[in-house]
């Protein structure tokens, strides 16, 4: 029975406690331990049963408990202290951004992501991408960035996991009640719910705008499950990563186009838009459409302005992870929209194709993002290399090393992931600076001042809590699966609170190879069941509902954990989420990561483990490839890659056993007279000193700001001032450039040097270049030179700019340059021409390059 009218009931808080409602609706509490302790103090049991949701807790707590708290001087003093810290944080005028770049009045950076992992009670994420988005937003708040987040709000979010009696993953999708979560619906000027509209085939879809306040940062989330929408449209925001390819395009259309419309409806007009992965790439089209409409621009003119203020982060190291839409879906959803852009069908489809003239190529969201953003980046140094190789075809003719995809290595928000115990320890010995400026290398050097006994006892307490947590969860899991009473009872003594504990927690995709450590059962049995030096492994993670091979990995672990030899040594914790992750990361001794090399763009879980005193043992992939050094953890292999995956798995599984037997276990169990594992503790401290000050989102967001956001803002402001004058001029110049570029070529190259040149000499070169209707100011002519490999290729190459020294008739010019000859060996050179214009974000932006022919 549907109601004739709906209404919302809010808790009745005593006057003295009224500001708890404000505090509950600002996720600042989620990374402030004193604030969390305040809510837990009201009713610790209710705090846990409401899934650590202060809004739901305040709505369900008994009124007499609230009245009691309002008369409790100790509670009121605690609340006053928290609120003073909260107010000081929100109102501070001394943030990093304010000090560096001055005050601001509205968000000028918009951060779009399809998922945000912010806290346990807002399950709006599936894994690493969402957690990164959440940590990015939190650090933007800490740093005082004028940023606004934009995403979707899912009615079911990502699935909850449970296992069948056979160990097969099952999924359930609880319905989220947004009115009992730290969310608030935005309202229009009439006090009504703010609704935006987006065109879908033949009709309009409406979306309600919700806001999550993340410290200083507003996060806007769109929800289509509202009255007025057809059932199929209400389901657009039903599930994260649910449904087929058409469901995906419907979501991404809402995120990109609807997200900008939500900002406009709130009179928020950012200068820079950051696309976190390609899901939101349609936003670039909407920016262009709006600029055309407002300023009466052509598509090319509007594109120059929009692109100047757009940046793109790619997280995907393999083509299979890219969203590709078939042409018939693009026709279905964008036939009318592309006419508003002033584009033909082929021109529009070409924006999402590597080869615009290939009618069989699907529409790629990553290609669209790359073509409509001025800057792009990967998320680790190794991933930057992989991304440049992967996307080289988007810039035909450009050497792989020069593909304009830079790197901003991921980090983690330390205060969100550190345990209470470890945070207290760091407060005592490092002072508050590790919280206020976690990227300060000097602060982390003070870790050496922590007595070994204190850091070890702190870590042991967290391991004991992890084991207690794992036993409780295992007990409940076995009961839910209908396990026999003997098995349920045996869960009480699963795991050993003093044994070396290895953690593996992540998405169960096959390339992550969760079962690599289980490959040699006989050898693993000897390692785990050594009575004097026992070892145990705690697994947790979800497979995508459609990933049956990933589910099979989970089933294998469950079946192995039931064997008598492993019953006390291998445990799988169901329903991996932020809550489970914290227990694991804060309590394990060793964090295991085993992806196939080049498949992990970055990974961040190991960074979270280090701030809690855990050590990493990982394949040299993602972030670990740049973080690893022998005194901070262990590397599985040395980066070798074999074509035979079975052989690779065998080699690397043996490497794991060798490391455990020869280094990890001895380091952990070799104790002095005081019972302390001094070698292990030395590595804990070394890892914290090296990894914590760099692999955090404070450093990461500062880099995004300085390397991408600010340059993009300056470009956008420069191109759009004076009624878009420079954007129009740049578009006009590009039209001329594209028309006449085929005429650009090298006519003749000469040098008076012999084939053999002495070290210390310069090789002087002149070239006659034909530019046709273009002038020397429109191009950069370069000598591209370097050592020759065995195939006769220049590897690596260095570019040296040549100067125009003579103008001749018929569009011909003489350019001169010199190559310094500093080392002996076999070298070669060639010439290349690139477009040049002061307003290009990169010489590769027009995707034109002309090489001399041999």
Segment 548-578, tens digit of pLDDT: 999 999 999 999 999 999 999 999 999 999 9
- The H or E element that residue 9 is part of is none
For residue 562, the Cα-to-chain-centroid distance in whole angstroms is: 36
Please state the rounded mean pLDDT for residues 120-130: 93
Q: What is the mean pLDDT of the chain?
A: 95
User: What tokens does 723 get?
Assistant: 């009624």
Q: How far apart (Å, rounded) are the C-alpha atoms in residues 520 and 24? A: 50
User: What tokens does 282 get?
Assistant: 């349609």
Strands 109-112 and 203-214: unpaired
- Burial class of residue 268, CB neighbours in 10 A (0-12, 13-18, 19+): middle
pLDDT tens for each residue of 427-459: 999 999 999 999 999 999 999 999 999 999 999
Half-sphere exposure of 262 (CA within 13 A, CB side): 33
Is residue 150 a contact partner of residue 259, using CB atoms and an 8 Å limit? Answer: yes
User: What tokens does 715 get?
Assistant: 């470009």
Q: In sequence order, what are the beta bridge partners of 393?
A: none
CB count within 10 Å of CB 650 equals 15
Range with lowest mean pLDDT among 63-72, 179-188, 488-497: 488-497
- The H or E element that residue 389 is part of is helix 381-390
- Spatial CA neighbour of 618 closest among 504, 696, 697, 542: 504
Whether residue 683 is predicted with pLDDT greater than 60 in this model: the reply is yes
How far apart, in Å, are the Cα atoms of 649 and each of 107, 551, 560, 623?
Answer: 48, 19, 19, 21
Position 824 scores a pLDDT of: 86
Is residue 387 a contact partner of residue 314, using CB atoms and an 8 Å limit? Answer: yes
Q: Place 780 in a pLDDT band, splitting at 50, 70 and 90.
A: very high
How far apart, in Å, are the Cα atoms of 618 and each of 133, 179, 595, 642, 666?
Answer: 24, 42, 8, 17, 18
pLDDT tens for each residue of 225-262: 999 999 999 999 999 988 899 999 999 999 999 999 99
Q: Place 754 in a pLDDT band, splitting at 50, 70 and 90.
A: low
DSSP string of 477-533?
HHHHHT--HHHHHHGGG-S-TTSEEEEEES---GGG-TTGGGSSHHHHHHHHT-SSS
DSSP string of 117-128?
---TT-----SH
Tokens 């020069």 belong to residue: 402
Whether residue 753 is predicted with pLDDT greater than 80 in this model: the reply is no
Please state the rounded mean pLDDT for residues 753-778: 89
Whether residue 735 is predicted with pLDDT greater than 60 in this model: the reply is yes
Q: Please, what's the largest Cα pairwise distance for the chain?
A: 96
Q: Place 9 in a pLDDT band, splitting at 50, 70 and 90.
A: low
Give the three-class secondary structure for 205. Answer: strand
The H-assigned helical ranges of 612-709 are: 622-627, 645-659, 665-669, 678-691, 697-703
Q: How far apart (Å, rounded) are the C-alpha atoms in residues 333 and 315? A: 26
Tokens 């302390």 belong to residue: 676
Q: In sequence order, what are the beta bridge partners of 642?
A: none
Give the three-class secondary structure for 427. Answer: helix
- Spatial CA neighbour of 109 closest among 71, 136, 81: 136
Whether residue 11 is predicted with pLDDT greater than 80 in this model: the reply is no
Whether residue 752 is predicted with pLDDT greater than 80 in this model: the reply is no
Q: How far apart (Å, rounded) are the C-alpha atoms in residues 152 and 248? A: 12
Q: Place 319 in a pLDDT band, splitting at 50, 70 and 90.
A: confident
Q: How far apart (Å, rounded) are the C-alpha atoms in residues 713 and 698? A: 20
Whether residue 4 is predicted with pLDDT greater than 80 in this model: the reply is no
Whether residue 1 is predicted with pLDDT greater than 60 in this model: the reply is no
Is residue 365 a contact partner of residue 278, using CB atoms and an 8 Å limit? Answer: yes
Please state the rounded mean pLDDT for residues 770-778: 97
Is residue 585 a contact partner of residue 609, using CB atoms and an 8 Å limit? Answer: yes
Position 478 scores a pLDDT of: 93
Whether residue 414 is predicted with pLDDT greater than 60 in this model: the reply is yes
Please state the rounded mean pLDDT for residues 712-722: 97
Rounded to a whole number of angstroms, the CA Rg of the chain reads 29
Q: In sequence order, what are the beta bridge partners of 590?
A: 502, 615
* Angle (nearest 5°) at CA 808 between 803 and 811: 90
Q: How far apart (Å, rounded) are the C-alpha atoms in residues 357 and 327? A: 13
The H-assigned helical ranges of 242-281 are: 245-253, 259-265
Position 123 scores a pLDDT of: 93
Position 242 scores a pLDDT of: 83
- Burial class of residue 793, CB neighbours in 10 A (0-12, 13-18, 19+): exposed
Q: How far apart (Å, rounded) are the C-alpha atoms in residues 34 and 41? A: 10
Strands 217-223 and 203-214: antiparallel
- Indicate the angle between helix axes 452-481 and 578-587, nearest 10 degrees: 140
How far apart, in Å, are the Cα atoms of 426 and each of 438, 697, 768?
Answer: 11, 18, 65
Q: In sequence order, what are the beta bridge partners of 210?
A: 185, 221
- In the chain, the percentage of residues whose pLDDT exceeds 70 is 98
- Burial class of residue 44, CB neighbours in 10 A (0-12, 13-18, 19+): exposed
Ramachandran angles phi, psi of 212, nearest 5°: -110, 130
Position 8 scores a pLDDT of: 59
- Spatial CA neighbour of 845 closest among 378, 373, 390: 373
* Angle (nearest 5°) at CA 595 between 593 and 599: 135
Please state the rounded mean pLDDT for residues 84-96: 96
How far apart, in Å, are the Cα atoms of 415 and each of 375, 437, 443, 631?
Answer: 30, 11, 15, 25
Position 759 scores a pLDDT of: 85
Q: How far apart (Å, rounded) are the C-alpha atoms in residues 296 and 321? A: 38
Q: How far apart (Å, rounded) are the C-alpha atoms in residues 333 and 342? A: 16
Q: Alpha-carbon torsion 364, 367, 372, 378, what sign?
A: positive
CB count within 10 Å of CB 496 equals 15
């Amino acid at each position: 029975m549907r109601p004739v009218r709906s209404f919302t009931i809010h808790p009745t808080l005593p006057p003295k406690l009224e500001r708890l409602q404000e505090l509950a609706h600002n996720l600042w509490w989620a990374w402030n331990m004193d604030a969390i302790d305040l809510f837990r103090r009201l009713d610790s049991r209710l705090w846990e049963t409401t899934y650590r949701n202060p809004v739901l807790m305040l709505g369900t707590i008994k009124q007499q408990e609230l009245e009691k708290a309002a008369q409790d001087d100790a509670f009121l003093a605690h609340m006053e202290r928290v609120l003073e810290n909260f107010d000081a944080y929100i109102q501070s005028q001394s943030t990093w951004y304010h000090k560096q770049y001055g005050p601001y009045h509205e968000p000028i950076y918009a951060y779009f992501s399809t998922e945000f992992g912010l806290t346990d009670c807002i399950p709006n994420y599936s894994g690493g991408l969402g957690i990164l988005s959440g940590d990015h937003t939190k650090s933007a708040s800490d740093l005082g960035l004028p940023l606004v987040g934009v995403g979707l709000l899912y009615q079911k979010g990502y699935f909850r996991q449970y296992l069948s009696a056979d160990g097969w993953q099952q999924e359930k999708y609880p319905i989220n009640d947004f009115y009992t979560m730290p969310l608030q619906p935005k309202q229009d000027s009439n006090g009504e719910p703010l609704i935006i509209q987006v065109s879908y085939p033949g009709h309009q879809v409406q979306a309600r705008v919700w806001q999550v306040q993340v410290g200083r940062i507003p996060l806007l989330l769109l929800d289509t499950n509202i009255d007025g929408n057809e059932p199929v449209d209400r389901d657009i925001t039903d599930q994260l990563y649910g449904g087929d390819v058409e469901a995906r395009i419907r979501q991404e259309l809402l995120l990109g186009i609807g997200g900008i419309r939500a900002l406009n409806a709130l009179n928020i007009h950012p200068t820079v838009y950051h696309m976190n992965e390609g899901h939101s790439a349609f936003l670039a089209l909407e920016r262009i459409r709006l600029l055309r409409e407002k300023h009466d621009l052509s598509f090319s003119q509007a594109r120059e302005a929009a692109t100047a203020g757009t940046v793109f982060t790619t997280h995907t190291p393999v083509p299979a992870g890219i969203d590709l839409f078939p042409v018939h879906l693009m026709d279905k959803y964008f036939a009318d929209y592309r006419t508003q852009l002033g584009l033909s069908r082929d021109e529009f489809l070409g924006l999402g194709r590597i080869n615009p003239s290939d009618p069989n190529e699907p529409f790629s969201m990553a290609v669209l993002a790359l073509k409509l953003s001025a800057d792009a980046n990967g998320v680790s140094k190794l991933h930057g290399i992989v991304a440049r190789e992967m996307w080289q075809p988007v810039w035909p003719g450009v050497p792989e090393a020069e593909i304009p995809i830079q790197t901003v290595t991921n980090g983690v928000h330390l205060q969100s992931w550190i345990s209470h115990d470890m945070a207290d320890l760091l407060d005592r010995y490092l002072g508050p600076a590790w919280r206020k400026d976690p990227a300060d290398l000097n602060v982390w050097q003070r870790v050496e001042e922590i007595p070994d006994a204190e850091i070890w006892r702190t870590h042991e307490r967290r391991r004991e809590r992890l084991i207690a947590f794992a036993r409780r969860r295992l007990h409940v899991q076995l009961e839910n699966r209908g396990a026999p009473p003997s098995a349920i009872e045996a869960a009480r003594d699963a795991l050993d609170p003093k044994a070396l504990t290895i953690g593996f927690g992540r998405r169960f995709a096959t390339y992550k190879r969760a079962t690599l450590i289980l490959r040699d059962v006989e050898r693993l049995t000897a390692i785990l069941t050594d009575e004097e030096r026992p070892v145990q492994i705690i697994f947790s993670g979800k497979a995508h509902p459609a990933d049956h091979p990933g589910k099979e990995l989970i089933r294998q672990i469950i079946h192995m954990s039931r064997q008598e030899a492993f019953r006390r040594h291998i445990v799988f914790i169901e329903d991996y989420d932020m809550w489970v992750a914290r227990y694991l990361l804060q309590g394990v001794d060793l964090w295991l990561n085993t992806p196939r090399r080049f498949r992990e763009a970055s990974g961040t879980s190991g960074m979270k483990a280090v701030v809690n005193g855990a050590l990493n043992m990982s394949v040299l992939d993602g972030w670990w490839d740049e973080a690893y050094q022998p005194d901070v953890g262990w590397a599985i292999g040395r980066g070798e890659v074999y074509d035979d995956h079975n052989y690779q798995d065998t080699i690397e599984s043996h490497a794991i056993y060798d490391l455990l037997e020869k280094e990890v276990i001895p380091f952990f169990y070799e104790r002095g007279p005081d019972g302390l594992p001094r070698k292990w503790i030395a590595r804990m401290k070394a890892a914290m000193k090296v990894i914590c000050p760099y692999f955090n989102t404070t450093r990461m967001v500062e880099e995004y700001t300085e390397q991408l956001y600010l340059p993009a803002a300056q470009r956008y402001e420069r191109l759009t001032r004076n009624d878009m004058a420079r954007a129009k001029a740049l578009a006009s110049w590009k039209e001329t450039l594209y028309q006449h570029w085929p005429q650009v070529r090298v006519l003749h190259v000469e040098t008076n040097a012999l084939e053999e040149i002495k070290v210390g000499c310069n090789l002087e070169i002149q070239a006659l270049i034909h530019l046709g209707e273009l002038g020397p100011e429109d191009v950069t002519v370069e000598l591209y030179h370097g050592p020759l490999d065995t195939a006769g290729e220049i590897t690596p190459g260095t570019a040296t700019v040549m100067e125009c020294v003579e103008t001749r008739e018929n569009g011909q010019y003489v350019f001169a340059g010199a190559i310094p000859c500093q080392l002996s060996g076999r070298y070669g050179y060639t010439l290349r021409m690139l477009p040049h214009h002061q307003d290009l974000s990169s010489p590769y932006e027009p995707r034109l390059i002309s090489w001399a022919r041999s």
